[in-house]
């Protein structure tokens, strides 16, 4: 379900997850891991927010509209998920702090949980106003490898909360690593498989497999 920036649903749950990323393309792990951890973090709803204009000038392989369509396909029929086009609505650089403030205004009685992949967390201390982000929200990091090897961990030590119960009780200022369920699946792997003419059928939904094939994406 796509939530237009000006007509967001009135979701009144306690914990709202914002999953920010390029989703270029969305794959099964983007969905499956969140379904497995939603109860741990007491999440009542998750909104996917695909990046519009990248703050670091990143060029995406698929157009914004294609990435949104694939997200809609992947989450179709499950009201736990929705997709927002907020970061593309203004056509300006998509700073995460602006996205968070937007959703805070829409859901001012809820706790916002920022969800990000490990690949984004690596550069988190380089994000625009990253300290302000931590003042506004708690962060759930979806892990793959050994996070202790990352350079920004020492800077963020005071924010890291290992006790998930304390994390859930707090509105903001805490980071928790979701390491219970891990996956090596990534969008870059899918793009590489397509580039090498190998099948991706097991890694994306059937509808998105056909969508990618029919549109000739990532070739």
Give pLDDT tens digits for 123-142. 899 999 999 999 999 999 99
Residue written as token pair 């859930």 = 168
How far apart, in whole angstroms, are the C-alpha atoms of residue 209 and residue 46? 23
Domains in the chain: ranges and CATH: 2-183 (3.40.50.620)
Check whether the bond before 25 is cis (ω within 30° of 0).
yes
* Prediction pTM value: 0.89
How many residues belong to the chain? 219
3-state secondary structure 101-122: HHHHHHCCCCEEEEEEEHHHHC
Of the candidates 155, 90, 151, 121, the one whose C-alpha atom is nearest the C-alpha of residue 20 is: 121
What tokens does 126 get?
């380089």
DSSP string, 161-189: ---HHHHHH-SSS-EEEE-SS-----HHH
pLDDT band at 152 (very low <50, low <70, confident <90, very high): low
**CA distances for 161 relative to 145, 156, 172, angstroms:** 18, 10, 11
Give pLDDT tens digits for 29-56. 999 999 999 999 999 999 999 999 888 8
pLDDT band at 154 (very low <50, low <70, confident <90, very high): confident
């Amino acid at each position: 379900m796509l939530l237009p920036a000006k007509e967001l649903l009135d979701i009144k749950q306690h914990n709202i997850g914002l999953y920010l990323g390029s989703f270029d393309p969305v794959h099964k792990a983007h969905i499956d891991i969140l379904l497995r951890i939603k109860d741990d973090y007491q999440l009542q709803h998750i909104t996917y927010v695909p990046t519009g204009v990248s703050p670091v000038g990143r060029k995406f392989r698929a157009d914004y509209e294609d990435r949104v369509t694939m997200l809609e396909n992947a989450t179709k029929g499950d009201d736990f998920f929705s997709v927002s086009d907020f970061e593309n609505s203004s056509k300006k650089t998509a700073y995460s702090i602006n996205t968070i403030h937007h959703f805070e205004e829409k859901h001012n009685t809820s706790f916002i949980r920022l969800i990000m992949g490990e690949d984004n967390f690596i550069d988190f201390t380089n994000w625009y106003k990253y300290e302000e982000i931590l003042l506004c929200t708690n962060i759930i990091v979806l892990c793959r490898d050994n996070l202790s090897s990352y350079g920004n961990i020492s800077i963020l030590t005071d924010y890291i909360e290992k006790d998930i119960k304390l994390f859930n009780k707090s509105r903001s200022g805490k980071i928790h690593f979701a390491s219970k369920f891990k996956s090596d699946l990534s969008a870059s792997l899918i793009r590489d498989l397509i580039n090498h003419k190998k099948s991706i059928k097991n890694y994306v939904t059937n509808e998105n497999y056909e969508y990618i094939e029919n549109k000739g994406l990532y070739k």
